[in-house]
Amino acid sequence: MNITLDRLLASRDARKAMQEKLLGMYSESTLVCLTVVMPGSVKRNDLSLTIARAATEALRHAFHAETEHFMERDLETGFEAYALVKVEEMEAKRRVCDIEDIHPLGRLFDLDVISRKTGSPISRSDVGRKGRTCLLCHQEARYCMRNKTHSQQELLNEIRRLVAQYA
């Protein structure tokens, strides 16, 4: 199903509200939020679900003994998962950066640690990590996204290749 920009923006607002709710309910835990990198207007398909399964498995493994609550939401606007863990925020951020950097599909995972103080994601640079790189040219991903350096089809082809290689 094609997702309109309005629906995508509404889903981001709903995700933010869910983050605030969970932070309120689990006041002693660190919140890790998982979404899947999927360019284009179709956010839920076989590719995204394969990526989501790999990401949840990696997340559960990284925090297995310290997870207080884990919730998954398979939505038309994209897969989401929330882990509330008994790990200090910066340590949690280091762990999710490791997942993103080391896992064969990690570049397709968007793992955020939400700062209890600001309510915003902690950046990779806060734990001494470089920004995420582009799937295709390995420049900084933000640069390529902003400049639309690569077509959506090129990105989807690379995602298909990575998932096929993983499977």
Residue-wise pLDDT tens digits, 24-70: 999 999 999 999 999 888 899 999 999 999 999 999 999 999 999 99
Q: Could you give the CA distance from residue 154 to residue 67 in angstroms, rounded to a whole number?
A: 37
Q: Give the residue from 69, 133, 64, 52 showing the smallest Cα distance to 95.
A: 64
pLDDT at 84: 97
The DSSP code sequence of 65-110 is TTEEEEEEEEETTEEEEEEEESS-HHHHHHHHHHHHHHSTTGGGEE
Average pLDDT over residues 115-128: 94
Tell me: pLDDT of 138 over 90: no
Q: Given strand 78-85, what is the order of strands in its sheet?
A: 67-75, 78-85, 30-36, 109-114
Domain ranges of the chain: 5-127
Please give the mean pLDDT across all residues of the chain.
93
pLDDT at 160: 96
Tell me: pLDDT of 166 over 90: yes
User: Phi/psi zone of residue 107: left (φ > 0), alpha (ψ -120 to 50 degrees), beta?
Assistant: alpha
Confidence of residue 145 (pLDDT cuts 50, 70, 90): confident
Confidence of residue 74 (pLDDT cuts 50, 70, 90): very high
Between 1 and 104, the more confident residue is: 104
pLDDT at 87: 96
CATH architecture group of domain 5-127:
2-Layer Sandwich (3.30)
pLDDT at 141: 86
Beta bridge partners of 85: 30, 67
Q: Give the residue from 105, 120, 113 showing the smallest Cα distance to 53.
A: 105
pLDDT at 85: 97
86-97 pLDDT tens trace: 999 999 999 999
Strands of the chain (E only): list them.
30-36, 67-75, 78-85, 109-114
> Could you tell me the two tokens for 98?
């490791």
